[in-house]
């Protein structure tokens, strides 16, 4: 499980500048739990594919993280990882994942994972390099992209299929590519395990981590910047994203389209 931060701006801006020093410090404080790796994806221009930098280290201890979140870009995704029990802490398992001109970061746990493998066509499965359910989720999105007109259709198709198979899983994700940032807000029946609650309770992290861990929120710090984030950090003027939905934000004009997960 993880923390997510996405930024889209009319002019290139770094994630650090988009949210400000105090909010970024709050975000980094989450490494008390979410210290099993980090990653940043960004695009140099709205019509260009993303690039990524990932690490299996703790972001607060890694100078590379401080550099990565200060790079201006029209859009960025930042991810802090809390490794699911049994999954290795290694660079291949750090989000965001990158393939086919698209980057993706996930917050949740999809179990049992073996079912995910059965959904993937052999050539897609062969491109999975790590051991996480999250990368397999991303592979399914890429598989759907072969038969859809747009990226958001592919994301919605993959999420809808997974929701039927895994009704209790958190499928929250940020997907960057093809001129848009796509946010999946789908965690209707997700709950933290007792062992996770115990680990969080042993820290001084905000109560949101226990009360509303899986929610995604949106804020507009100014007229030209949009921020999407997990709970537990920052005093931005947050509003909840619609539940069980897929939201696509255009990098050209920051227009947002929200599609219900199970809508027609």
What share of the chain in percent tops pLDDT 70? 90
How far the first Cα of the chain sits from its last, in Å, is 30
Over 80: is that where the pLDDT of 86 sits?
no
For 204-263, the pLDDT digits (tens) are 666 566 557 788 999 999 999 999 999 988 889 999 999 999 999 999 999 999 999 875
For 178-200, the pLDDT digits (tens) are 999 999 999 876 665 556 556 65
> Using an 8 Å Cβ cutoff, are 25 and 235 in contact?
no
Q: Mean per-residue pLDDT for 27-45?
A: 93
- Mean residue pLDDT across the chain: 91
Inter-CA distances, 190 with 110, 210, 214, 215, 239, Å? 10, 12, 7, 10, 20
Banded pLDDT at 84 (limits 50, 70, 90):
confident
Residue 49: which region, alpha, beta or left (left: phi > 0; alpha: psi -120 to 50)? beta
For 197, the token pair is 């609650």
pLDDT at 199: 60
- For residue 26, count other CB atoms closer than 10 A to its CB: 18
Go through the chain and tell me how many residues it has.
264
Banded pLDDT at 176 (limits 50, 70, 90):
very high
Could you give the domains of the chain? Answer: 2-260 (3.60.20.10)
């Amino acid at each position: 499980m993880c923390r997510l931060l996405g930024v889209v701006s009319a002019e290139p801006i770094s994630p650090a500048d988009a949210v400000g020093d105090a909010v970024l410090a709050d975000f980094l404080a989450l490494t008390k739990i979410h210290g099993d790796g980090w990653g940043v994806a960004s695009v140099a221009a709205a019509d260009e594919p993303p690039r990524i930098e990932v690490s299996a280290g703790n972001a607060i201890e890694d100078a590379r993280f401080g550099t990565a979140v200060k790079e201006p870009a029209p859009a960025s995704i930042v991810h802090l990882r809390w490794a699911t029990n049994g999954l290795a802490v290694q660079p291949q398992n750090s989000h965001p994942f990158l393939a086919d001109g698209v980057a993706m970061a996930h917050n949740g746990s999809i179990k049992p994972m073996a079912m995910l493998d059965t959904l993937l066509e052999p050539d897609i499965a062969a491109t999975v390099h790590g051991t996480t359910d999250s990368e397999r989720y991303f592979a399914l999105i890429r598989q759907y992209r072969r038969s859809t007109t747009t990226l958001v259709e592919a994301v919605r198709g993959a999420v809808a299929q997974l929701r039927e198979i895994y009704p209790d899983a958190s499928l929250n994700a940020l997907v960057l590519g093809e001129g848009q940032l796509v946010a999946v807000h789908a965690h209707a029946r997700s709950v933290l395990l007792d062992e996770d609650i115990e680990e969080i309770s042993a820290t001084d992290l905000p109560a949101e981590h226990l009360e509303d861990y899986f929610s995604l929120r949106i804020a507009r710090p100014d007229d030209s910047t949009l921020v999407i984030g997990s709970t537990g950090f920052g005093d931005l003027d947050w509003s909840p994203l619609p539940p069980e939905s897929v939201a696509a934000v255009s990098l050209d004009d920051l227009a947002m389209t929200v599609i219900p997960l199970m809508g027609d």
